[in-house]
A and B are shown apart, each in its own frame.
Chain A
Amino acid sequence: MASVVAPAGRRAPGLWDAIRSEWVKLRTVRSAPWMLGAMVVVGVGVAMLSAHAYSIAGQGLGGCQGATVGGNVVSTGQSSLRASLAGFFPALLIVGILGMEVVTAEYGSGMVRATFSAVPRRYVVVAAKAIVLAVVVYVTSGIMLLVSFLAGQALIGHPCSASFSTQGVTLGLAGGALGLALVGLVSLGIGMVVRKTAGGIGILVAVLLVVPWILAGVFSGTFETHIAKFMPLWQEIAVVMGNTASNTGGASGSTVFFPPWIGLAILAGYTAAVLAIGTILTIRRDV
């Protein structure tokens, strides 16, 4: 009987232990570190190309080139910011796949049964996965956006380059990383609903891109003024690309956005809703 040791005296495991477990899982399958590394490399690379193209175009015009975002002409600093943060788009796809895989890989391999045998309170597993994913994506994409910005601005050079004090820059960096983390969480939530990577990615792309495109086609007059601001990706792009509060007034024909922090709050709301649905289904369904 000696080896039937009651765990008395040992601290009952909780959320922190689940987080440590999920961190081990994330860093010990090769695909996750690879995807995050690829996100930084591709993101910075695309930003450099974009910044390079911007500086050439600017030189061609004999000065700094302005740009239009959603029909709004934005200032030069914001345009160069936009050019240097172009890595946001490839990062979006990679984060979407990563967030999905965190869940779907477990269902695909059957690991989920071992996971829920070790942590039968499934919401704890969900919370741990969400926290680990959000932090990892926020930090990694934050680094990616920061490097993209610094390298991009160096490439663009004075006088067209933006600095941290340029309006929309800190917001673009912080909001961009936050937005990517939220997209990762939306993807995780969808993964919990569909349990399969392929179907989940399809739904994610539909939610982020296809549905807005259809809406834009159907409501061609009112999409920009009344609907676009509720589209998660549109709102997020507005934040990253420096479409700040100053141009939410909406001259006719231009796209109207919420102020950036309200936009991020709406994104967070969507994310919470998807995560809630995913969590409820995860708890209720057989695995």
Chain B
Amino acid sequence: MIEVRGVSKRYGRTTAVDGLSFEVLPGRVTGFLGPNGAGKSTTMRLIMGLHHPDSGEINVNGRRFVDSRYPLSEVGAHLEARSVDGARSAFNHLLALAYANGLPRSRVTEMLETVGLAGVGRKRVKGFSLGMAQRLGIAAALLGNPPILLFDEPMNGLDPEGIKWVRDLLKGLAAQGRTIFVSSHLMSEMAITADHIVVIGHGRLIADAPASELVSRQAARSVLVRSPRAPELAEALQRAGAVVNFGQDWSLTVSGMDAARVGEFAAEAGIVLHELSPQEGSLEEAYLELTAAASDYHGVLGG
């Protein structure tokens, strides 16, 4: 389990993380989302003790990561695909990390096979594609067989096959009871992969909820209505406080009122409905709505 409590971090005059608190629980994949510059990478570095918070505290397994006795076997982290000296081979890079934690050489060979780099283990990392570098970073995170794993944008630069591989890996690791914390800007990917979502913007917590709840929260807010007397209905609904948008062919998208209330209103006014359907929101929509206010650049999503 990872506990982030009231953590703030400033770089000069920029506040990267601002009073952030959340928990990452074992046995599920927790997606970490936010627009560019929201503070995701900073938060991950703070968890790993690479950066020091100005205030607040972060515990992994009940203590600061810096106090780990078996670091690689307590928390595995894949923070940046290029945290590697390109002059070294993949094997020797992992060997240096393994030895630092008293792990045997055989573990390195095993991990290279696990991530599908066995064939290029003796090649220098400099020549690796981003996808291969991602796999190497994942191998490094898995070296100590840790119960807690952090991945910062692990799917960047991977082909569809690679993305599926990472998704299955993350889900498999969570199914084994591990704590999996993964940041991504690929919303569609997190919708499939994550069980729980933490959303931040401007370094502040925006949402911390099960993925399904975020979607249904969004769905509850919007209802599609079709009626031959659409303008009349719209007026009535607006008077009742709902927000109504006209779509094509006179369909109405009603938010701020659930489908049942819309139906009751129509019945009271004696208005015939041809369609009344709660909108299945997507995680993508939920995310866009949540982060709209916090985003520095509207319409731009990422890192």
Chain A positions near chain B (C-beta within 8 angstroms): 1-7, 10-13, 17-18, 20-22, 24-25, 28-31, 105-106, 109-121, 284, 286-287
Whether A111 pairs with B45 at a CB distance below 8 angstroms is no
Cross-chain contact A4 with B73 (CB below 8 angstroms): no
CB <8 Å contact, A17 and B102: yes
Does B246 sit at the interface, judged by CB under 8 A? no
Interface status of B285 (Cβ within 8 A of chain A): no
Residues of B73-94 contacting chain A, CB below 8 A:
73, 75, 77, 79-80, 82-89, 92-93
Expressed in whole angstroms, the Cα–Cα distance for A154 and B84 within the complex equals 47
Task: Assess whether B247 is interfacial by the CB under 8 Å rule.
Answer: no
Residue of B nearest to A111 (CB): B85
Complex: chain B residue closest to A11, CB-CB:
B102
Asked if residues B101 and A113 are in contact (CB atoms below 8 Å), the reply is no
CB–CB A18/B100 < 8 A:
yes
Q: Which chain B positions have C-beta within 8 A of A118?
A: 71-72, 97, 100-101
Chain A residues near B145 (CB-CB < 8 A): 3-5
A11 to B77, CA, bound (A): 22
A111 touching B49 by the CB < 8 A rule? no
Chain B neighbourhood of A12, CB < 8 A: 69-70, 102
A61 to chain B, nearest CB (A): 50
A42 vs B73: C-alpha distance in the bound complex, in angstroms? 45
A18 to B71, CA, bound (A): 12
**Interchain CA distance A13-B100 in the complex, whole Å:** 7
Q: Which A residues touch B15, using CB under 8 A?
A: none
* Measured CA separation A287–B102 after assembly (Å): 24
- A4 cross-chain contacts in B, Cβ below 8 A: 145, 147, 176-178
B65: interface (CB < 8 Å): yes
CB-nearest residue of chain A to B77: A117
> B88, A29: Cβ atoms under 8 Å?
yes
A residues in contact with B102, CB < 8 Å = 10-13, 17
**Contact string, B138-155, partner A, CB cutoff 8 A, digits 1/0?**
001000110100000000
Name the distance in Å between B207's Cβ and chain A's nearest Cβ.
Answer: 27
Interface membership of chain B positions 103-114, coded 1 if the CB is closer than 8 angstroms to chain A and 0 otherwise: 000000000000
Residues of A within 8 A of B144 (CB): 7
Contact B88 A28 (CB under 8 A): yes
**Across the interface, do B177 and A17 meet the contact criterion of CB distance under 8 Å?**
no
Among residues of B, the one whose C-beta sits closest to the C-beta of A285 is B52
Q: A4-B177, A117-B71 are in contact. Are A110 and B99 (CB under 8 A)?
A: no
- Nearest residue (CB) in B for A105 is B85
A2 CA / B172 CA spacing, docked (Å): 12
Judge whether A110 and B84 touch: CB under 8 Å.
Answer: yes
B79 touches A113 (CB 8 A): yes
Which interface residue of A12, A30, A120 has the most chain B CB atoms within 10 A? A120
The 18 listed contacts between A and B (C-beta, < 8 Å) are A2-B176, A7-B144, A10-B70, A13-B101, A18-B100, A24-B96, A28-B89, A29-B85, A109-B84, A109-B85, A110-B82, A113-B79, A113-B80, A114-B84, A117-B72, A117-B79, A118-B101, A286-B51
A120 CB, nearest partner CB in chain B, Å: 4
Distance, CA A109 to CA B124, complexed state (A): 14
Complex: A286 Cα to B144 Cα, angstroms: 24
Q: A286 contacts which chain B residues (CB < 8 A)?
A: 45, 50-52
The verdict on B66 contacting chain A, using a C-beta distance below 8 Å, is yes
Residues in A neighbouring B85, C-beta threshold 8 A: 25, 29, 105-106, 109, 111
Q: How far is the CA of A20 from the CA of B95 in the complex (A)?
A: 10
Q: Is the pair A113, B50 in contact by a Cβ cutoff of 8 Å?
A: yes
Report the separation of the CA atoms of residues A111 and B73 in the bound assembly, to the nearest whole angstrom: 19
Which residues from chain A contact B97 at a C-beta distance below 8 Å? Answer: 21, 114-115, 118
**Additional pairs, 11, CB under 8 Å, beyond known A7-B70, A109-B82:** A3-B176, A20-B99, A20-B100, A25-B85, A29-B85, A31-B87, A105-B87, A112-B83, A113-B80, A116-B49, A118-B71
* Cβ-based interface call for B7 (8 A): no
B112 → A minimal CB distance (Å): 15
What is the CA–CA distance of A106 and B140 in the complex, to the nearest angstrom?
16
